[in-house]
Structure 1
Amino acid sequence: MTEQRDVVIVGAGPVGFVTALGLARQGIDVTLIDAEPGIVNSPRAAIYHPVTMELLDRLGVIDDCMAIAFHCHGLAMRYPETGDIIAFNYEKAALPEQKYKFNLHFGQHELAAVIADHLARLPNTRVHWNHRLEGLVQDGERVMLGVETPDGRKQISARWVIGADGARSTVRHLLGLPFEGFTWPERFIATNVEVDLRALGYFDTNMVIDPVNWAVIARLSRGNLWRLTYGEDGRLDEETMWERVPAHYRAFMPPETDYKIVQAAPYRCHERSAPSFRVDRVLLAGDAAHACNPCGGLGLTTGLMDANALFQLLGAVMHGHVGEEALDHYARERRRIFLEITSPSAQHFKKQMSEPDPAVRAQQREATRKAMENPSTATMSAVISRRIVGGPLPVGAALAL
């Protein structure tokens, strides 16, 4: 028997869950499927900027997030070759209209768990684990999905399908869409480590600027759990990654430092985008639509802003307030924002962190120092985040959330 559903979201990560909750809050029937047996806990992006916090506030989950997250009020740009540390205060950098003037740090799996709890309280919602998408066919009116489950293969017929299933998206693959762009030559190593880095002089968020030993180091909890992400030569054997971790750590802390690695994950970073974020009744969001390197925390922000735009526009279409052309606006505008704002900004941060030329590094260091001292330029990171949100959506007064 074929299941009849209104919206099926493929991928139960933060983008999929946020999209599901946004639609469900408008009374729309939502089904979320994922090939994994449950919410995945792995070292991925964990920094939530004020624009994302505003979204979580509108969705009614901000209090739960605030209760479990670490509240970060600033960062430091660190230059090991000179010993310079340039501090950056988020409140100083805030725009006048900002409600929140700090960042939240907590795992994507924790956000997913919070939203899953809220989603479960709403009618006509369901989350199916161990459901692997294997087929997708459209006929102009509905989308037929072939899904492998623990009980065998089943068919799901949906009015709309959203692919939020990551950079290796099965949805994108089944649509026959390429993933245009490039992959960075470095392998990124994300580690969660228990260590007292505050005692070593680290701020709660740190960007280490060095041609070899660059890193993003951020506190993940109110205790001593930290995220330390660094890069290594992508040609090295991934299987021997663990053997090299102690040598990399010596660049960031004295050899006698006590630490305990809780998790570590290697991954390749991309600057890629699908050529279209909509194919008839299937839409792409988050890493399924685009992917960038994690320097600056813009990938997660962009994915969640995709979800923000998508649940509003698709909700308005399904309630008959606007025509389906609103979804073309989504596809066109979110792709533009990634190509013109997110990816160039992320590439700039990555290149600045690992700049090989010492003269250029010195120029960038002094430019950063002056920017932090000038209120008009100190707000640039907040401006970038606000631009990633995008402009007004074509839904008008019909918006339900």
Structure 2
Amino acid sequence: MADLDCDVLIAGGGPTGVTLAILLARQGVRVRVAEKAAAIFPLPRAAHIDHEGLRILQAAGAADAVFATSRRVARYDFLNARRKVLMRFEGADRIGAGGWPSANMIHQPSVEAALRRSLSGQLLADLQQGWEVRSFVEDATGITTEIATAEGLRRVRSRYLVGADGARSPVRTAAGIAFEDLRFEEPWLVVDVLVDDASRLPSANLQICDPKRPTTCVLMGEGRHRWEFMILPGETPEQVLDDAFIEALLEPWDVKGAIRIERKAVYTFRARIADRWRKGRVLLAGDAAHQTPPFAGQGLCSGLRDASNLAWKLAAVLKAGAPESLLDSYQPERGPHLRATIDMAIMMGRMVCMTRPWSALVRDLTIALGRIMGKLPAGPPDYPAIATGAILAGSPGAGSYFPQPLSAEGTRLDDRLGQGPWLLSRQVLQTPDLNSFAEPLTRWLDHHGAEAVLVRPDRYVFGTGSPDYLREAWAASWGRLGANAAA
């Protein structure tokens, strides 16, 4: 349309918004990012990205740079007040289904810098800093957004507006979208430090389930560490932010002289989810759509999954002839996964946040009994597969996450096949280009009793069946397959 400034305007230049912009631009969509701040927030916030999040950053051209400054951790321990292990999750440093280590401790400003470098190389995308979305008006063919800039008010016209503008989201507020409160709200003190002597700090991520002061201690990106201390009833933000108060909290860790405080802040950990993620031409992503307590380390990961899910659907509607109704599958697909993420984080948070000694004792005894009986989980539970939406329901494997194996030479599958949907048949796996991936992918087909699989651009399985049937089913529902479909 001649009057459009871009196809998609994204409010918010954090990791979710910039990742979405890159993924859209790489699929031929013209996109603009409006970011209120003049520069990347320089202090740490998110501390963890999982294997699926790194795979999404791989698609956005930023994974190698992020991985280079991240750290791996093998264990996630829950300890009682006497520092004895209640529960232990091991193997977080192993390669996950996404083709990267399962747990990667990161420095968020470095992640954002890597993403912005990738964005700067996209001809169809641009980032405008110092732009604040004020209001918008939707009509039959597009949406006009009014933005405050240093030069005054300006209007940007686009087909869609995505609010990736954080927990206070002006876009969500202006759209009249409400939050569902999932009834978890706890104030915590967060202390981020620069590390001068790593040998004096824990090498595992820790949750200290001490009713006197529930505490989290985790690695971050290279050269950094984080403590989180639950704020107890009667304590004020001013009190807990005092240097002497923080020094007393850190004293039992014996790290004086090994660290320097980089940031101290009070956060209220909340669990909330927007009741609508799409309202006409307005969509929400990341913290604008949902907020999860940090105990499972899935806040940033959830935003990246939103970007990956939404990017291919917007591109399919704008460029591949898919019906606009495809966008209605966004929340039904992401919502159950997000609720499972929040449920797990709340469960972990409530386990950690017990401040009544008797309740904590019952918890400790219950977990000890579960360990004796061999009934404790080996790790966080798997997330549910997509059950409804843009999938070929009823076909084996539909809605599951498709793995990314590495070839013997160390090449990742996504780098070999590129963006877009893939149609992988047993015959195609014997070609020279894919022969080095044939063994793990054939095992996947065998496990599902399938002749072929069609994998969506966000690397979830559309469905299985014969190649012709899959090709026809995809085209009938979601548009053209594209050059990479048959690999």
Same fold (TM over 0.5): yes
Matched, 1:231 2:230: yes
Aligned counterpart, 1:32 = 33
Distance verdict in 2 for CA 1:87–1:196, change over 3 Å: farther
Aligned counterpart, 1:11 = 12
Distance verdict in 2 for CA 1:67–1:217, change over 3 Å: same
- Unaligned runs of 5+ residues in structure 1 are none
Alignment-mate amino acid for residue 25 of structure 1: R
Matched, 1:124 2:124: yes
Distance verdict in 2 for CA 1:298–1:316, change over 3 Å: same
Cα offsets for 1:67-101 (capped at 9, x unmatched): 12122233222223353375432269876x45233
Alignment-mate amino acid for residue 119 of structure 2: L
Shift of 1:292: 1.4
SS of 1:276's equivalent in the other structure is: coil
Equivalent pair of 1:316/1:399 in contact (CA under 8 Å): no
Matches within 5 A, 1:378-397: 378-381=378-381, 383-384=382-383, 392=461, 395=478
Aligned counterpart, 2:218 = 218
Matches within 5 A, 1:158-177: 158-177=158-177
- Unaligned runs of 5+ residues in structure 2 are 387-398, 402-459, 463-476
Identity of aligned residues (%): 24
Shift of 1:21: 0.9
Distance verdict in 2 for CA 1:8–1:370, change over 3 Å: farther
Distance verdict in 2 for CA 1:108–1:199, change over 3 Å: closer
Name the CA distance, whole Å, in 2 between partners of 1:301 and 1:195: 25
Matched, 1:361 2:368: no
SS of 2:299's equivalent in the other structure is: helix
Name the CA distance, whole Å, in 2 between partners of 1:46 and 1:385: 24
Distance verdict in 2 for CA 1:380–1:219, change over 3 Å: closer
Name the CA distance, whole Å, in 1 between partners of 2:369 and 2:16: 35
Equivalent pair of 2:51/2:95 in contact (CA under 8 Å): no
Equivalent pair of 2:147/2:154 in contact (CA under 8 Å): yes
Matched, 1:101 2:101: yes
Name the CA distance, whole Å, in 2 between partners of 1:389 and 1:168: 32
Equivalent pair of 1:43/1:264 in contact (CA under 8 Å): no
Shift of 1:38: 1.2
- Of the structure 1 ranges 107-116 and 258-267, higher mean CA displacement relative to structure 2 is found in 258-267
Matched, 1:398 2:399: no
SS of 2:231's equivalent in the other structure is: strand
Aligned counterpart, 1:76 = 77
Cα offsets for 1:259-296 (capped at 9, x unmatched): 32111222222211111000001100111001111111
Shift of 1:160: 0.7
Shift of 1:110: 1.4
Aligned counterpart, 1:49 = 50
Name the CA distance, whole Å, in 2 between partners of 1:234 and 1:33: 40
- Of the structure 1 ranges 86-95 and 18-27, higher mean CA displacement relative to structure 2 is found in 86-95
Shift of 1:184: 4.2
Query: Which structure would you say has the larger RCO, counting Cα contacts within 8 Å and 6 or more residues apart?
Result: 1
Distance verdict in 2 for CA 1:194–1:42, change over 3 Å: closer
Distance verdict in 2 for CA 1:65–1:361, change over 3 Å: same
Distance verdict in 2 for CA 1:42–1:188, change over 3 Å: farther
Name the CA distance, whole Å, in 2 between partners of 1:277 and 1:352: 30
Matches within 5 A, 1:123-162: 123-162=123-162
Aligned counterpart, 1:301 = 301
Shift of 1:335: 2.4
Equivalent pair of 1:219/1:227 in contact (CA under 8 Å): yes
SS of 1:26's equivalent in the other structure is: coil
Equivalent pair of 2:72/2:101 in contact (CA under 8 Å): no
Shift of 1:354: 1.8
Cα offsets for 1:232-256 (capped at 9, x unmatched): 1476433443213223323x51485
Distance verdict in 2 for CA 1:83–1:396, change over 3 Å: farther
Shift of 1:399: 6.8
Cα offsets for 1:148-190 (capped at 9, x unmatched): 1011111111111110111100000000112220564431222
Matches within 5 A, 1:308-347: 308-339=308-339, 341-347=340-346
Name the CA distance, whole Å, in 2 between partners of 1:88 and 1:337: 21
Equivalent pair of 2:75/2:88 in contact (CA under 8 Å): yes
Distance verdict in 2 for CA 1:255–1:82, change over 3 Å: closer
Shift of 1:312: 1.2
Name the CA distance, whole Å, in 2 between partners of 1:18 and 1:385: 24
Equivalent pair of 2:207/2:352 in contact (CA under 8 Å): yes
Shift of 1:197: 7.8
Name the CA distance, whole Å, in 1 between partners of 2:179 and 2:19: 24
Distance verdict in 2 for CA 1:380–1:295, change over 3 Å: closer
SS of 2:322's equivalent in the other structure is: coil
Name the CA distance, whole Å, in 2 between partners of 1:38 and 1:256: 32
Equivalent pair of 1:142/1:158 in contact (CA under 8 Å): yes
Name the CA distance, whole Å, in 1 between partners of 2:217 and 2:313: 36
Matched, 1:349 2:332: no
Larger Rg: 2
Distance verdict in 2 for CA 1:46–1:200, change over 3 Å: same
- Of the structure 1 ranges 327-336 and 271-280, higher mean CA displacement relative to structure 2 is found in 327-336
- Of the structure 1 ranges 176-185 and 290-299, higher mean CA displacement relative to structure 2 is found in 176-185
Let me know the Cα RMSD of the aligned residues. Answer: 3.0
Cα offsets for 1:286-342 (capped at 9, x unmatched): 110011111111222211111110111111111134211111000222223323x12
Shift of 1:200: 4.7
Equivalent pair of 1:73/1:89 in contact (CA under 8 Å): yes
Name the CA distance, whole Å, in 1 between partners of 2:360 and 2:93: 29
Equivalent pair of 1:271/1:343 in contact (CA under 8 Å): yes
